[in-house]
Amino acid sequence: MALIAVTGASGKLGRATITFLLDRSVPATSIVAVVRDPAKVADLAGGDVQVRRGDYTDPASLETAFRGVEKLLFISTSALGEERMLHHRNVVQAARAANVKHVIYTSVVSPSPTAKFAASPGHFHTEALIRESGIAYTFFRNNLYLDIAPFMFGSAVATGTLAYPAGNGRIGFIARDDIAEALASVLTRGEHKNREYPITVSSAPYSMHDIAAALGKAAGKKVTYSDVTPEVFRKALEAQGLPPPAVSMTVGLAEAVRAGEFDAASPELERFLGRPAIGLEPFLKKALAPR
């Protein structure tokens, strides 16, 4: 069977995707886990998955890691700005040099060079790099992970108020594991070349009022949404002791929600899954359950 490589394989999305590939009866020996530190995935190597060192800052290591690979799941780096583009250029150039046939890239819903969401411009330019490389591609344009919702809004459970400067903005939250399962589907089928898929909720995205209500139901108390100003939100974050870069990023994310950058719905994710995706309320109920 042709080799399938997964970058960032020690991360949560990469590990989950490899698990779903194995569940789909892909031989472990046909999976390449590309990681900066192979020791972090020693258990995969023990299960016959090929583990290869590949560092986004080291082009030679990436080219070596990609040798013989037909399909590459390219999971975007956590870096932003020019550092992100340096990492991503290295991956694309190494994939081309190694003669990779198909790149599946984890992008963002509605990528734009002028977006308020800090990661979006990098995704926009990376998609362009991949197209220009001539390698067949599939872009998974992912909405925000449900997994981050408790961290974004968890304090609202304690206060009873979801104070967030998002106006009437909506978010098509989706679970990371659902994305991983859908990626495994694409990696094991051949009809997705040169396609872009919005990976988001299938029906109406969640309003901030929806999110507040779901938090309340999960916690067994009433939570209401308060549309505060960005400045009030910023001061609240600073009072919590967040470092300035984290404050700016968090405020920017809220501004992106307000601007409608995550207000998207599509049936594609559920088509890949062959079942309904997990929704906001059941996800929060599980995530916020007492341990």
Task: Tell me the C-alpha distance between 179 and 161, whole Å.
Answer: 30
Q: What is the DSSP letter of 58?
A: -
pLDDT tens sequence across 149-172:
998 998 899 999 999 999 999 999
Task: Tell me the C-alpha distance between 265 and 277, whole Å.
Answer: 12
Predicted confidence at residue 193, as pLDDT, reads: 93
pLDDT tens sequence across 204-249:
999 999 999 999 999 999 999 999 999 999 999 999 899 999 999 9
Task: Tell me the C-alpha distance between 9 and 33, whole Å.
Answer: 5
As a whole number of Å, the CA-based R_g of the chain is: 20
Residue 99 Rama label (left phi>0; alpha psi -120 to 50; beta): left
Which of 165, 151, 153, 150 is closest to 252 using CA atoms?
165
Fold adopted by 144-175+200-263+275-291: UDP-galactose 4-epimerase; domain 1 (3.90.25)
Exposed, middle or buried: residue 254 (CB in 10 Å: 0-12, 13-18, 19+)?
buried
Predicted confidence at residue 189, as pLDDT, reads: 86
Collapsed DSSP state (helix, strand, coil) of residue 52:
strand
Exposed, middle or buried: residue 275 (CB in 10 Å: 0-12, 13-18, 19+)?
exposed
Predicted confidence at residue 291, as pLDDT, reads: 65
Predicted confidence at residue 170, as pLDDT, reads: 98
Intrachain domains 3-142 and 144-175+200-263+275-291 with the same fold: no
- pLDDT under 50: residue ranges of the chain: none
Angstrom CA distances, 61 to 16, 18, 37, 58, 163, stand at 23, 21, 12, 6, 46
Angle at 231 between CA 228 and CA 237, to 5 degrees: 90
Pairing of strands 206-207, 170-171: antiparallel
- Looking at residue 210, its amino acid is D
Predicted confidence at residue 290, as pLDDT, reads: 72
Fold adopted by 3-142: Rossmann fold (3.40.50)
Task: Report domain extents, the chain.
Answer: 3-142, 144-175+200-263+275-291
Please say whether the beta carbons of 139 and 196 come within 8 A.
yes
Prediction pTM value? 0.95
Which of 27, 38, 23 is closest to 4 using CA atoms?
27
Exposed, middle or buried: residue 93 (CB in 10 Å: 0-12, 13-18, 19+)?
middle
Exposed, middle or buried: residue 121 (CB in 10 Å: 0-12, 13-18, 19+)?
buried
* Helical residues (DSSP H) of 134-278, grouped into ranges: 149-153, 155-159, 176-187, 208-219, 230-239, 244-258, 268-273
